[in-house]
């Protein structure tokens, strides 16, 4: 491994040359990495470490979304067939009313862990009595963003007994505006720690944002009318929802289907989808791990769907500006704030969940999914033109046979047609 010591000091081109040599990559295999399109190597090399290239994901537009009365085009970056189509179809079935959505203020929770405390009660009391001084100190680190409404709003402190003795955890509530907020929060926590140490006579250890942004949630709801989607779909969704409420194995996949849509928008807009995922699943696990969506029939027998989850997402910040596609995706979506983006994401998550449950609860997921995946299989079997791909996919779907070998036989027949 000595060859790779100091790898980071090389240029992207030199790194790729070394990897190519070490792994006997062909010209084509390296070209796919360096054919980086909009993300030129210099920009990529400033974004993360040890860069040798860039990867690409398809970017689709989910259509038919009306959110709080506003027609919205939704960019989704995802590798899985049928996710974009499913969101679009589910959204179409909510029209003309569409989705109603709302989002909290951008309050992030920042945590400071304090250890080595002699007198827990006195330390807690000192923190409470000096709250104003602590918050003023914290705000010194956010002066540059006060104009955007950012700032340390409050904090709470609690004692926790651990295997390593008593600790105090101080949870700050910090408004981070349209940023995701992790950097802003972590800088503020590190700056305010000395005063916390003085007041508790303890030692500040971890100073870090929490990804369980439970004060920064988004909600969305929609009604799927029985005349439009049919009784079978409504009953199927309600049965699927009950299954997920009672069975954690099903609930995991239920929530994955929601995050199919939410993550796709997060990736398209250059957001940290790992923090979005962490927040969503820990929120779902508060108490007992439960579905992030809920469904019930209204007085007309129509299906009402609701979603609520933490969504700490940004429309400004270094990660957004370093992504070549984020700005364009946000412009396509025509969102002007973190809250608006969160409302779109919540609506998409609900739409994808409804689409999956209504398909699962009636005709099964493969009918729709494989109809779209068949085009991938046709291309994988060697179909080149769109006409060949569509014709082979059509025959595979009719036969309900999505085997690649069968696709190759069908392709030969199509070429003879």
Give catalytic residue positions.
80, 256, 272, 369
Q: How far is CA 119 from the centre of its chain?
A: 42
- In the bound state with ligand HMG, the residue whose beta carbon lies nearer, of 43 and 256, is 256
Report yes or no: 61 and 332 within 8 Å, Cβ to Cβ: yes
- In the bound state with ligand HMG, the residue whose beta carbon lies nearer, of 12 and 60, is 60
The contact set with ligand HMG (CB under 6 A) reads: 63-64, 80, 82-86, 88-89, 92, 253-254, 256-257, 260, 352, 355-357, 359-360, 365, 368-369, 372
- In the bound state with ligand HMG, the residue whose beta carbon lies nearer, of 305 and 368, is 368
Q: Which residue is nearest to ligand HMG (CB)?
A: 368
Distance of closest approach, residue 83 Cβ to ligand HMG, in angstroms: 5
Query: Taking the CA atoms of the chain, what radius of gyration do you get in angstroms?
Result: 25
Distance of closest approach, residue 355 Cβ to ligand HMG, in angstroms: 4
- In the bound state with ligand HMG, the residue whose beta carbon lies nearer, of 133 and 239, is 239
Distance of closest approach, residue 56 Cβ to ligand HMG, in angstroms: 20
Distance of closest approach, residue 97 Cβ to ligand HMG, in angstroms: 16
- In the bound state with ligand HMG, the residue whose beta carbon lies nearer, of 181 and 368, is 368
Distance of closest approach, residue 350 Cβ to ligand HMG, in angstroms: 12
């Amino acid at each position: 491994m000595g060859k790779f010591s100091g790898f980071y000091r090389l240029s992207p081109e030199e790194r790729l040359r070394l990897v190519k040599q070490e792994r006997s990559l062909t010209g084509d295999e390296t070209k796919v990495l360096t054919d980086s399109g909009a993300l030129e190597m210099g920009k990529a090399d400033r974004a993360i470490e040890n860069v040798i290239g860039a990867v690409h994901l398809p970017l689709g537009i989910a259509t038919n979304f009306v959110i709080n009365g506003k027609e919205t085009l939704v960019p989704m970056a995802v590798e899985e067939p049928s996710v974009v189509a499913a969101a679009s179809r589910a959204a179409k079935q909510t029209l003309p009313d569409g989705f109603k959505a709302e989002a909290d203020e951008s309050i992030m929770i920042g945590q400071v862990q304090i250890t080595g405390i002699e007198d827990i009660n006195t330390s807690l009391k000192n923190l409470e009595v000096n709250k104003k001084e602590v918050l003023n100190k914290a705000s010194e680190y956010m002066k540059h963003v006060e104009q955007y409404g950012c700032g340390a709003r409050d904090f709470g402190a609690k004692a926790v007994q651990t295997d390593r003795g008593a600790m105090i955890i101080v949870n700050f509530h910090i408004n981070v505006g349209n940023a995701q907020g992790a950097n802003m929060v972590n800088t503020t926590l590190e700056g305010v720690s000395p005063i916390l140490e003085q007041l508790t006579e303890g030692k500040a250890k971890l100073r870090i944002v929490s990804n369980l942004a439970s004060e920064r949630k988004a909600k969305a709801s929609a009604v799927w009318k029985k005349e439009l989607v049919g009784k079978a779909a409504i009953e199927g969704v309600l049965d699927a929802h009950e299954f997920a409420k009672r069975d954690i194995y099903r609930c995991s996949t239920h929530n994955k289907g929601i995050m199919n849509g939410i993550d796709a928008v997060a990736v398209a807009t250059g957001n940290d989808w790992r923090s979005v995922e962490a927040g969503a699943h820990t929120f779902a696990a508060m108490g007992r791990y439960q579905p992030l969506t809920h469904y019930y029939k209204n007085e007309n027998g129509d299906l009402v769907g609701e979603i609520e989850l933490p969504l700490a997402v940004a429309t400004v910040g270094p990660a957004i500006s370093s992504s070549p596609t984020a700005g364009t995706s946000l412009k396509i979506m025509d969102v002007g704030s973190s809250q608006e983006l969160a409302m779109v994401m919540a609506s998409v998550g609900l739409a994808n969940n409804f689409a999956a449950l209504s398909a699962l609860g009636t005709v099964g997921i493969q009918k729709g999914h494989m109809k779209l995946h068949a085009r991938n299989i046709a291309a994988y079997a060697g179909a080149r033109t769109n006409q060949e791909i569509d014709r082979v996919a059509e025959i595979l779907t009719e036969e309900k046979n999505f085997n690649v070998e069968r696709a190759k036989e069908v392709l030969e027949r199509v070429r003879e047609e």
